[in-house]
Structures are given as structure tokens and as C-alpha cells.
């Protein structure tokens, strides 16, 4: 089926405005914008600033879906304003608001400070045990193409904050490390050049770490770069569980299979069936 060609039309922008110096709470204002095919939401917002209301505040930079600066809530979906064409998402009304799960600096500008603080907390860089080699390298840290593919997908993150704004866990737990920082921690954990797993697991395995995620998957749905944060978080859970089991491997079998000392079996509970495989 051929793609529908939209004709130019007038679109009503419902924009949530908020100036912390003047407003006690956010309020909605309407603007009518003449939209032509190919016009992005960012183009429309610039038209509003230039012809109707110069006080409208927004954040943007590259205008080509690379920097992640123009993340906004467009018709209820976290999106990048610069690579979202208006007529692809509406032909009547467009609601525009600052990203949820973040405080508002002004109008459409979210405060992404928590995102960057959580990102930094996971040590998102190569950590090495051989400090001397890092300071005075004698060669390269080689890596095969196959080893690169284990984490390449997760390197495409542009820190736009869309994943965190869509996360229901973060909405109820502001301390949750979140779907931006956790995948980046996993990205370095599986990098063959990195030795920082034991450092990061204290953060990612904490109360507000990966096990807070209940796999709603909205972070992956809204990611503009296909990073798939939800997948990385599930893989991180597996890494932590395997690490835990490895640490517990030294325990004797009797500690697992035997009845705890001082605890008596309730009479009505039947005995466990015999082992089906030989116990060593």
C-alpha cells in the first residue's frame, strides 16, 4: 500500500507551559500552526516562537536525531521533536509537554540532572585492574568483531531521557537507577577490555537497581536508536544471578539438602520423593 500523502493544513498545538518564577503549576496554551508535509514538531515550535510567542522555552541542538536534546512528550508518547513529523502523528491536534518523570526547568525543558547523576554512578567507562598498563600502555587492547557485537547495540544511547520518561518503575521510585544508566553498565560489563563488574554490581544490584525493573518494556518502545534498554536490564539480571551462584558454589551439599538444625518437620507434610539422578 502506498504511503498516504498528507496535504498542508492547520494544526492546533496544545503546549503545557510552566515558568517556576511565575506559575504555581503548569498550564495549557493553544497555538495554531500552518503545517506542510515534512514539517517536524521542532519546526512547528520554532514557528510559534517566531510568529506568536517568543517566551516559549525549549531545548534543541543538532536537529537530526543525534544529540537527544529535544526529547518531549508528543501526544502522550516520549519522542524527539526534531525527527517526528507533525503529519505522521496527527492531522488535527498535537499536545506537547515536557518529559514526565523529570522536574521542569521551564516549559518544554526537563531537568535531566538525575539521568546524568545515575549514569555517572555506574562507572560508564572502561575500568582496568592493571593501572600501570592504563597509564603507560605497551600495546592495544584487542577485541574481535564477535566480542564487539555483544555490546554494540547498547553503545547507541544518546542520553535523550525518553526511556526514563516512559518508565513506570521510575514514576513510583525516583531512586530507581533507571533504563538509561543500567544498560550502559551492562555495556561495559560485557566489554572484554573491562574489569569493572565487581565495582558496578554494588550499584546495579542494589535495592534500586535492576531487580526493580518489572519488564514493562516501554523504555525499548520509545527508544529512538533501537538500544533496547529492557533487554540489557534482563541480561544484567542474569549476570548478577550467575555471579551470585558462582560465589555460593563453595557451600557443601548438606547445607542445601539437609534439614536446618532445630527445625522439626510438620507431620502432615509428606517426605520429598527420592532423587532421580545420582548425588555426588
What's the average pLDDT block by block, 10 residues per block, for the chain (280 residues)? 71 97 95 96 98 97 96 98 96 96 98 97 94 85 91 96 98 96 97 94 95 95 96 95 79 47 65 65
pLDDT of amino acid 280: 54
**Sheet of 27-35, strand order:** 27-35, 9-17, 93-97, 71-74, 77-80
Answer CATH for 113-248 from 1.10.1060.10, 1.10.540.10, 3.40.50.10860, 3.30.450.20:
1.10.1060.10
Element (H, E) at 33: strand 27-35
Contacts 24+ apart (CB under 8 A), 4-9: 5/37, 6/37, 6/87, 6/91, 7/37, 8/34, 8/35, 8/36, 8/37, 9/34, 9/35, 9/87, 9/91
Query: For the chain, what's the residue count?
Result: 280
Q: Where are the domains of the chain?
A: 9-110, 113-248
pLDDT value of residue 256 = 44
Contact 44, 65 (CB under 8 A): no
CA distance 217 to 71: 19
35 within 8 A of 42, measured Cβ to Cβ = no
Q: What pLDDT sits at residue 223?
A: 97
Task: CATH number for 9-110: choose from 1.10.8.100, 3.10.20.30, 3.40.1190.10, 3.90.380.10.
Answer: 3.10.20.30
On the 0-12 / 13-18 / 19+ scale of CB atoms within 10 A, 44 is: buried
* pLDDT score at 136: 87
Q: Rounded CA gap, 94 and 76, in Å?
A: 10
Residue among 106, 1, 115 at smallest CA distance from 58: 106
Asked whether this chain's domains 9-110 and 113-248 adopt the same fold, the reply is no
pLDDT of residue 249: 62
Question: Number of helices (H) and strands (E), helices first, in the chain?
Answer: 12, 7
Helix axes 113-121, 178-189, angle to 10 degrees: 30
Amino acid at each position: 500500500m502506498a504511503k498516504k500523502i498528507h496535504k498542508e493544513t492547520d494544526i492546533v498545538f496544545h503546549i503545557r507551559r510552566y515558568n517556576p518564577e511565575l506559575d504555581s503549576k503548569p498550564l495549557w496554551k493553544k497555538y495554531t500552526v500552518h503545517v506542510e508535509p515534512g514539517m517536524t514538531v521542532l519546526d512547528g515550535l520554532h514557528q510559534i516562537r517566531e510568529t506568536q510567542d517568543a517566551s516559549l522555552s525549549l531545548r534543541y541542538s543538532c536537529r537530526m536525531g543525534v544529540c537527544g536534546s529535544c526529547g518531549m512528550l508528543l501526544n502522550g508518547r516520549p519522542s524527539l521533536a526534531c525527527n517526528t513529523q507533525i503529519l505522521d502523528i496527527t492531522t488535527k491536534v498535537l499536545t506537547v509537554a515536557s518529559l514526565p518523570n523529570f522536574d521542569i526547568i521551564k516549559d518544554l525543558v526537563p531537568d535531566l540532572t538525575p539521568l546524568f547523576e545515575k549514569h555517572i554512578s555506574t562507572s560508564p567507562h572502561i575500568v582496568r585492574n592493571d593501572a600501570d598498563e592504563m597509564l603507560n600502555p605497551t600495546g592495544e587492547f584487542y577485541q574481535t568483531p564477535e566480542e564487539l557485537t555483544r555490546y554494540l547495540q547498547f553503545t547507541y544511547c544518546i542520553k535523550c531521557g525518553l526511556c526514563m520518561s516512559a518508565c513506570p518503575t521510575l514514576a513510583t521510585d525516583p531512586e530507581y537507577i533507571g533504563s538509561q544508566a543500567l544498560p550502559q553498565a551492562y555495556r561495559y560489563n560485557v566489554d572484554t577490555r573491562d574489569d569493572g563488574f565487581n565495582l558496578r554490581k554494588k550499584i546495579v544490584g542494589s535495592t534500586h537497581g535492576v531487580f526493580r525493573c518489572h519488564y514493562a518494556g516501554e523504555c525499548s518502545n520509545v527508544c529512538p536508536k533501537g538500544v533496547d534498554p529492557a533487554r540489557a536490564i534482563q541480561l544484567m539480571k542474569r549476570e548478577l544471578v550467575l555471579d551470585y551462584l558462582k560465589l555460593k558454589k563453595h557451600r557443601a551439599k548438606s547445607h542445601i539438602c539437609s534439614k536446618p538444625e532445630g527445625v522439626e518437620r510438620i507431620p502432615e507434610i509428606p517426605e520429598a520423593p527420592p532423587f532421580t539422578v545420582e548425588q555426588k
